[in-house]
Amino acid sequence: MKMAKKLSVLFSVILLLAVSVSLFGCGQGIKSEVSIVPGAAKGLTIQGTVKTGAYAYTMSSYSYVSYSFLQKDAIAGAKVSIPGLASSAVVTDANGFYSIKNVSPGSYTVIVTREGFQDGVAKGAFPENPSENTVLTLDVLLVDNPKIVSATIDANSALNSAVIVFSEPMDITTVIPTLYYAGMSSYGVSSKGVVEAEKSWDTANKILTIKPKNNFLSGSLYGIFLSGPAGDYLSIKDMSGNSLDYSGYSTSGNSLMVNLITTVATAPAPSAAPANFQFKTANGTTEIDYSDIYYYNNYVTLSWNPVDQATSYKLYCRYNNGPFQLYSDSSYSLGAYKEMNIKIDNLDSSLADFTRTGYSYPEDKGYGIVWPFVGSNAIDFKVVAANSNGESPASNIITIKDTKKPQVHSASYIPYNYAPTYSSKEAYVFFTEPLDKNSAETIGNYSISGQTISKAQLTNIYSGSSYRFAQVALTMFPGTTTIATVEVSSNVKDLSGNGIELKYNSGLFYGYPY
C-alpha cells in the first residue's frame, strides 16, 4: 500500500501521541472495550496469529514521503490479553498462534505486547446468537519500527542533560543529534542557534543523553534536530535496520524536531500581571469593523508583554458581561513574544453563552442575529501568566466590539449579482458592512439630484467580497442615464448602530449600462 505524506515545516511544542489502530498501533492509553451479552453462556473462543511488520519509507526530491508496510514472520512469546478480563492473558506459541477460550458473546479488544515492538491492537465481535464453539478470529500485526518513547530535559538535575528514550536498541551510527537554542523570552535573551553538546548512549543503545557544554538556561525553549547518515530522518535505523517511526513529531527540512522546555522547579508563581495587553485587526488597526472579522480571515490579534517566571499564559473571555471562561486554545509556551489570533469560530466552543446562528458570519433566520459584534454585543478578554506554582494577577480587560462607522463602498446601475435587469430608474448603493434594515430602507436617508426616490430595498451580503457587505436598491423617478451622485445620510446605520461615516457617504453612478 503506497501513501504520500507531505512534510510540514513546523517548530512547535511536542504533543503526546495517542493512537488507536484497528490492526496495529501504539497500545498505550487504549480503553478497555469489552461488551458482554448479559446472561449468555460461555464456551466461545477468540484466536488468531500475531505477525510482525515494518514500514519502509522513501523521501522524494520534493520532500514528500511515501511508505509501504512489509509483513514479516509470525512471532512467538508475545503477550495477548483482553482489557477487562483478568484471566484472558496468554502467550503466542512458536507459530505466533494464540487462543483465548471460554468467553461469552460480545465485542472485544485484543492487545498484544512484545519487547522491541509497538503494541498491537485488534477489535472484533461475535455475531448475534452465536452457536456453540463459535470462533472469533483476530489476527494482529506488531509494528517493528522504533519510536521515541519520551524526550525530557531538566535544567536542575546534576546531569543537566536532555534524554531521549527509544523503544528499541538503535544503530547509534545512524542517530545524529544537533542541539538548538530557540530563545528565552522571560529573561530577555534573544540570541539563538546551535549549542555545543556531547552525546552518549546507554549499554542497550536505547537511551540517548545530550549534555550541553554549558548548562541549560532556565525557562527556555530548546530543540533537538535528529537526522541520519543520508542527511534525513528516514535514515535513522534500529539494530534490525528498520527506519524510525516519526509520527507525532514535527519535521524541519530533512530533520526530525524534538522540542523541549526547561523549567525552574523552585520558581514562585508569576507576581506581575501581563502588561500592555492590546489587540489589533489583521490590517493593523485597533478599530473593529465587520470586514475585519469576516473578510480578513475572521480573526483579531491579541498581544502582551512577557512575564518573569511564566511558562504559559491563559486567556479568558466573556460575552456581554457574562462570566469569564477559559478560551479553548489558551495555554502557550515560551516564545520570543506573546501574541495569538482569536477566531470567531473558536469562540463558539469556548463561550457557553454564545452560539452563532450562521456559519463563520451572522445570518438572520427571522429571530435575530447572534453575533458578538452586532448591536451592544461585545467580547471582553483578559490574560494571566502561569507556571506550575500558580497564576499571576490578571491583565487589564480589553473589550472588542464593532465601533467603526460603515462607509459607502460604491454605486452602480448594476446589482450585486450582476443580473441583466438594468433600468434607468434603478440604482444600487454598496456598503462596507451589513446594515440595519429599518434605517437602510428609509427613503429619506438618500438623495439623488433631480430624482425622487420612491423605494429603498436592503440586501445584506454577510459573506460578500471586495468589502461589499450590503446592497441597497433605490427606485427613482423620472430616472437618469447620465452620471449622478447619491448622498447617504448618517442616519443609515450598521448592525451595531454606528451611523454612516460622512467622509465616505456618497457614490457616483457612471451612466446607464448598455
pLDDT in tens, 333-366: 433 346 677 776 567 666 767 665 555 556 555 5
Q: CATH topology for 148-261?
A: Immunoglobulin-like (2.60.40)
β-sheet bridge partners, residue 195: 179
- Predicted pLDDT of residue 248: 76
- Whether the per-residue pLDDT at 204 is higher than 90: the answer is yes
Q: What's the mean pLDDT in 254-262?
A: 77
- Whether the per-residue pLDDT at 240 is higher than 80: the answer is yes
Superfamily of domain 278-400: Immunoglobulins (2.60.40.10)
- What gap in Å lies between CA 128 and CA 131, rounded to an integer? 9
Query: What mean pLDDT value characterizes the chain?
Result: 76
Stated pTM of the model: 0.48
> CB of 373 within 8 A of CB of 404?
no
- 20 versus 363: the higher-pLDDT residue is 363
- What gap in Å lies between CA 99 and CA 369, rounded to an integer? 61
Confidence label for 479 from pLDDT (cuts 50, 70 and 90):
confident
Whether 278-400 and 3-143 are alike in CATH topology: the answer is: yes
Residue 238 is classified by DSSP as B
Q: What's the mean pLDDT in 70-88?
A: 84
- Which class in CATH covers the domain with range 3-143? mainly beta
CATH 3.90.1170.50 fits 408-510, yes or no: no
Return the domain boundaries, the chain.
Answer: 3-143, 148-261, 278-400, 408-510
Condensed to tens digits (0 to 9), the pLDDT of residues 155-180 reads 556 557 889 999 889 999 999 998 88
- Whether the per-residue pLDDT at 94 is higher than 60: the answer is yes
Q: What's the mean pLDDT in 225-237?
A: 88
Can the peptide bond before residue 478 be classed as cis, meaning omega within 30 degrees of 0?
Answer: yes
Residues 44-57 as b or e (16 or more Cβ within 10 Å = b): bebbbbbbbbbbeb
Q: What is the largest CA-CA distance in the chain?
A: 99
β-sheet bridge partners, residue 456: 474
Cell numbers placing 456: 429603498
- Predicted pLDDT of residue 61: 57
Q: What's the mean pLDDT in 256-283?
A: 78
- Predicted pLDDT of residue 71: 74
> CB of 91 within 8 A of CB of 80?
yes
- Predicted pLDDT of residue 308: 78
Confidence label for 423 from pLDDT (cuts 50, 70 and 90):
low
Q: How far is CA 260 from the centre of its chain?
A: 20
**Across 153-167, 237-251, 496-510, least confident range:** 153-167
Q: What's the mean pLDDT in 453-463?
A: 87
> CB of 472 within 8 A of CB of 457?
yes
